[in-house]
């Protein structure tokens, strides 16, 4: 028996969304177990799927998805280097290194150290919790990178830049806007509850979907501008006599 399927933008997107749906279901179950039934662990189910916990399945998936983005960016960079020289490939390589950093950050929370540094240098802030001070450190860096990449954006085709903007906007909506909503919620509540659980669920879900949209855009770019096409995968099952 022969099993054949194509690995292209649509199929990759479907696979990643299926994984996200599985993780989302696990997270919602963990929220129910934790804040409705009062279980802190439930034989490990709560910490394993909780979107607000590090070193578990959701954080591992997010780290690997961002690392996949870095791998695709590197392939594009090497292709650009071959066709047009190192100058055209430079921006793609910089993006590769950024996404490698973000992948590691997603797994070990480097951004929290930036937050502590901001707190050490400038003291406490009345309008934002210490755990979110990393946003104050990352925002200026983000603005500088956006300015730095203006020339790069102009060289991209319209559909690619639109896809990048949509993916980045969805990711930022979760990582910054919903993150701050959760921060403000905790500013006025003594402890986390199920409402806070739903807020950080939305935050992480938007981040995951943003990365999926970015991966989809990168795969389309690869197909459009490189020799890489949709990959046909065939698996043969030999029946013993």
Residue-wise pLDDT for 35-79, tens only, equals: 999 999 999 999 999 999 888 999 999 999 999 999 999 999 998
Mean pLDDT of 87-96: 90
Range with lowest mean pLDDT among 88-92, 118-122, 183-187: 118-122
> Which residue, among 223, 190, 225, has the nearest Cα to 8 in the 3D structure?
223
Domain boundaries, the chain: 54-229
CA distances from 235 to 1, 15, 141, 232 (A): 8, 18, 46, 10
| Helix (H/G/I), strand (E/B), else coil: 188 | coil
Name the burial class of residue 183, with classes exposed (0-12), middle (13-18) and buried (19+) by CB atoms within 10 angstroms of its CB: middle
């Amino acid at each position: 028996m022969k099993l054949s399927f194509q690995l292209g933008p649509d199929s990759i997107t479907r696979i990643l969304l299926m994984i996200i749906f599985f993780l989302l279901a696990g997270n919602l179950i963990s929220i129910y177990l934790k804040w409705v039934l009062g279980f802190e662990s439930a034989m490990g189910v709560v910490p394993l799927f909780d979107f607000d916990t590090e070193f578990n399945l959701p954080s591992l998936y997010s780290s690997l998805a961002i690392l996949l983005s870095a791998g695709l960016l590197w392939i594009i960079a090497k292709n650009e280097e071959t066709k047009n020289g190192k100058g055209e490939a430079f921006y793609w390589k910089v993006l590769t290194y950024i996404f490698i950093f973000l992948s590691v950050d997603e797994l070990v929370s480097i951004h929290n150290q930036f937050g502590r540094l901001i707190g050490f240098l400038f003291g406490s802030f009345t309008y934002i919790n210490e755990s979110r001070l990393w946003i104050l450190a990352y925002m200026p860096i983000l603005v500088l990178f956006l300015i730095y990449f203006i020339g790069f954006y102009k060289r991209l085709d319209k559909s690619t830049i639109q896809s990048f903007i949509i993916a980045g906007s969805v990711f930022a909506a979760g990582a910054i806007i919903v993150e701050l909503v959760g921060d403000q919620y905790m500013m006025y509540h003594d402890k986390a509850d199920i409402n806070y659980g739903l807020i950080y669920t939305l935050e992480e879900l938007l981040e995951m979907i943003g990365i999926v949209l970015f991966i989809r855009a990168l795969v389309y770019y690869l197909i459009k501008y490189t020799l890489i096409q949709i990959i046909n995968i065939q698996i043969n099952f030999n029946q013993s006599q």
